Amino acid sequence: MCGIFGLISRNKLLSVDKDLNILKHRGPDSFGSIEYASRNGQQFTRLAHRRLSIIDLSEAANQPMERADLNLSVTFNGEIYNYLELRKELSNKGFSFQTTSDTEIILVGYYCYKERILDKLRGMFAFAIYDMNNGSVFLARDRVGKKPLYYYFKDNIFIFASEIKAILTQNQIDQTYDHVALNKYLQFGYIAAPETIYKNVFSLKAAHFIFFENFKININRYWRINYKTKLAITKVDEVALQLSDIFDQSVKIRMLAADVPVGAFLSGGIDSSAVVAFASKYTDKLKTFSIKFNHSSFDESQYASMIAKKFNTEHFQFTVDAGASFVELLPEIAWHYDQPYADSSALPTYFLSKKTSEHVKVVLSGDGGDESFVGYERYLAHILSEKYELLPNIIKIVIQKLGEGLWSTEPKTFLYRLKRMIQYVSNRDSFERYFKTIQYFNNEDLKLLRSNSVAEKISYADCSNIFSEIQADINLEKIIGFDFEKYLPDDLLVKVDRASMAHSLEVRSPFLDHKLVEFAASIPLGIKFSKYRLKYLLKHHMLKDVLERKILFRPKMGFGVPIHSWFKNELYSYAKEVLMDGTFSQNFNFNKVYIEKLLSDHKNSRSNNSNKLWTLLMLGLWYDRCAGSVR
State the Cα–Cα distance between residues 97 and 82, nearest whole angstrom. Answer: 16
**Helical (H) or strand (E) element with 159:** strand 157-161
Q: Which of 568, 554, 629, 559 is nearest to 600 (CA)?
A: 568
DSSP code per residue over 14-67:
PPPGGGGGGGGGG-BSEEEEEEEE-TTSS-EEEEEEEE---S--SGGG-SSEEE
Instruction: Answer whether 506's CB lies under 8 Å from 138's CB.
Output: no
Helix (H/G/I), strand (E/B), else coil: 111:
helix
Task: Report in angstroms the alpha-carbon separations of 357 from 163, 268, 285, 352, 503.
Answer: 20, 20, 17, 9, 6
Cβ-in-10-Å burial (0-12, 13-18, 19+) of 531 comes to exposed
Best CA proximity match to 501, nearest among 326, 318, 338: 338
Dist. CA 520–CA 472, nearest whole Å: 13
Dihedral of alpha carbons 292, 294, 299, 300, sign: positive
463 catalytic per annotation: no
Sheet of strand 506-508: strand arrangement: 314-320, 287-293, 262-265, 362-364, 506-508
Element (H, E) at 169: none
Degrees, nearest 5: CA angle 558-607-581? 95
**Do 266 and 358 touch, CB atoms closer than 8 A?**
no
Residue (of 403, 368, 409) closest to 508 by Cα position: 368
Of the residues 2, 112, 463, 626, only one is catalytic, namely 2
Question: Catalytic site residues?
Answer: 2
